Structure 1
Amino acid sequence: MPPPRPAESRNDAELIRANRGFYELLWAAAKLIGPERFNTWPLLRELAAAAPRRLEVAPGLRPRLPLDGTCFVDLSHAALSQLHASGAKAVHGMIGALPCADASFELICALDILEHVADDDSALAELARVATPGASVLLSVPLHPEAWTAFDDFVGHCRRYEPAQIIAKLARHGFTIEHSAVYGMQPKSSRLLDLGQWFLTHRRERAMWWYNRVFMPLGLHFQKPLQWREGLGDTQGVDEVLLRCRYRPNPRPTPPPSH
């Protein structure tokens, strides 16, 4: 049997159904974990403190920016309910149609989201629309299409990115990668991933119990410190990267003179 390949052909409606099916159930059984518990916090704390106008897209119950003062946009009603209960400003929406005004935010965080949408160019265009010139934009993406597994498909991924592809795509929308960090909490064992997928498919409640009460706390405990490096850096053998980008609007082409 040939290996599974990225599902580039799936449309937004299909991807939304797949993501809702996985994440709505995940967040319904989960508790909110504050941003200070994640290894992203030492890298993002000062950025957040210097940017009073902040947006985080699709955080679920794992926000990486401070709850106080950040606008959160998510599709999951289960996640929105807990974010509201924790005092956060959270609104229903998706990355392709953000319910936000133009040039509203100095710091934008959209982790683990571009690979989930059918039209990632429209998603990046929306991030550019709501960013102020000079804004910091934090993204994370999985790399290397040849590393695609059935688990990517199961969790609603649409693609993995070639390193040169993500650099060029970001540049077309005015984003320059200034720093990156090797990122991600996915287990390296394919057998463990296969076992997890089987339980999520056939024993969903039990799998969610183990994930939220055992594997997630263990994952938090054993997180490795993240370190910024210049540009994209060496991506050989890297499953996922955290990108710190600078947004500068691309100059509009000068219209031809009228005669």
Structure 2
Amino acid sequence: MSASPLPTEHELIERNRRFYDGLWRGAQLTEPQRFNTWPLVARLIAGATQRLEVAPGLRPRFPLKGTHFVDISAPALQRLQAGGANALQGHVTALPFPDATFDAVCALDIIEHVVDDEGALAELSRVAKSGAAVLLSAPLHPASWTAFDDFVGHYRRYEPEHLLAKLRAHGLTLEHSAIYGMQPKSSRLLDVGMWFLTHRRRQAMWWYNRTLPLFVRFQKPLALVPGMVGTAQVDEVLLICRRD
């Protein structure tokens, strides 16, 4: 966790909104089929007629057609709606849907961004039907906190066992997992990126949005394992859970 004073929930929501509004305003929508999560997603949503993805921005993993989306960013919502998606403005701790609505739920890169992660997990579990697939991701190891975590609006990183305990407490059983994410392994490269994000933000966002397709093209296939993947020196994990 960052040593700086912790933000309130409202402050963190506004920080995230400002960052992602700026990011998505100049970005293009990336189709779900281009990500290394697609083979997994295609299998999970087979037969899932009711689907939800929370906070996809312009990098959705579920198909636009037939999926409900919730996001806090107005520019992202406009692009999703223009692409034919059913997209609403909202927050993961107060999802605007009845209990047990969805056969498949996706919330990547989100629970680390909210103060009330217990409330977020409770909501994701609440709207999922019994037996629904719930796809999550989260960064690991508080000791690995960097300035990048602060900048993108993270509130926490997780110890693996603590994260698993939270999932179990909300009726989510981990079935498979994989190493996930694209944070640079080089601390020097991260420092350079942070300098540009801090001092040349508009240019940094421009370059990020135009080089992302290159990063996406060279993603490694997901290496799924039963249960929790070995987490030593792993920055982020993808979690495939089942609603009890």
TM-score normalised to the size of structure 1? 0.91
How many angstroms does 1:43 deviate by? 1.0
Q: Does the CA contact (< 8 Å) of 1:71 and 1:88 recur in 2? A: yes
Counterpart check, 1:111 vs 2:108: yes
Q: Number of residues paired by the alignment?
A: 244
| Cα separation, partners in 2 of 1:22 and 1:72, compared to 1, 3 Å | same
The structure 1 residue matched to 2:232, chosen from 233, 236, 251, is 236
Q: Deviations along 1:25-67, whole A, 9 cap, x unmatched?
A: 0000101001000000011112112211100000000000011
Greater Cα shift, 109-118 or 48-57: 48-57
Kindly provide the amino acid, as one letter, of the partner of residue 140 in structure 2.
Answer: L
Structure 2 stretches of 5 or more lacking a match?
none
Q: Partner of 2:161 in structure 1?
A: 164
How many angstroms does 1:202 deviate by? 1.5
Q: Partner of 1:145 in structure 2?
A: 142
Q: Partner of 1:209 in structure 2?
A: 206
Q: Does the CA contact (< 8 Å) of 1:55 and 1:72 recur in 2? A: yes
| Cα separation, partners in 2 of 1:15 and 1:108, compared to 1, 3 Å | same
Aligned mates of 1:86, 1:74 — CA distance in 2: 15
How many angstroms does 1:200 deviate by? 1.4
Aligned mates of 1:197, 1:11 — CA distance in 2: 24
Kindly provide the amino acid, as one letter, of the partner of residue 58 in structure 2.
Answer: L
Q: CA RMSD in A?
A: 1.3
Greater Cα shift, 172-181 or 201-210: 201-210
TM-score normalised to the size of structure 2? 0.97
How many angstroms does 1:160 deviate by? 0.4
Structure 1 stretches of 5 or more lacking a match?
249-259
Q: Partner of 1:45 in structure 2?
A: 42
| Cα separation, partners in 2 of 1:49 and 1:8, compared to 1, 3 Å | farther
| SS in structure 2 at match of 1:49 | coil
Identity of aligned residues (%): 62
Greater Cα shift, 230-239 or 192-201: 192-201
| Cα separation, partners in 2 of 1:45 and 1:8, compared to 1, 3 Å | farther
Q: Deviations along 1:164-193, whole A, 9 cap, x unmatched?
A: 000101111101111001100111111111
How many angstroms does 1:156 deviate by? 0.3
| Cα separation, partners in 2 of 1:47 and 1:241, compared to 1, 3 Å | same
How many angstroms does 1:5 deviate by? 2.2
Q: Counterparts of 1:1-259 in structure 2 under 5 Å?
A: 5=2, 9-214=6-211, 216-248=212-244
Q: Deviations along 1:184-241, whole A, 9 cap, x unmatched?
A: 0111111111211211121122111111112x12211210110210001211111100
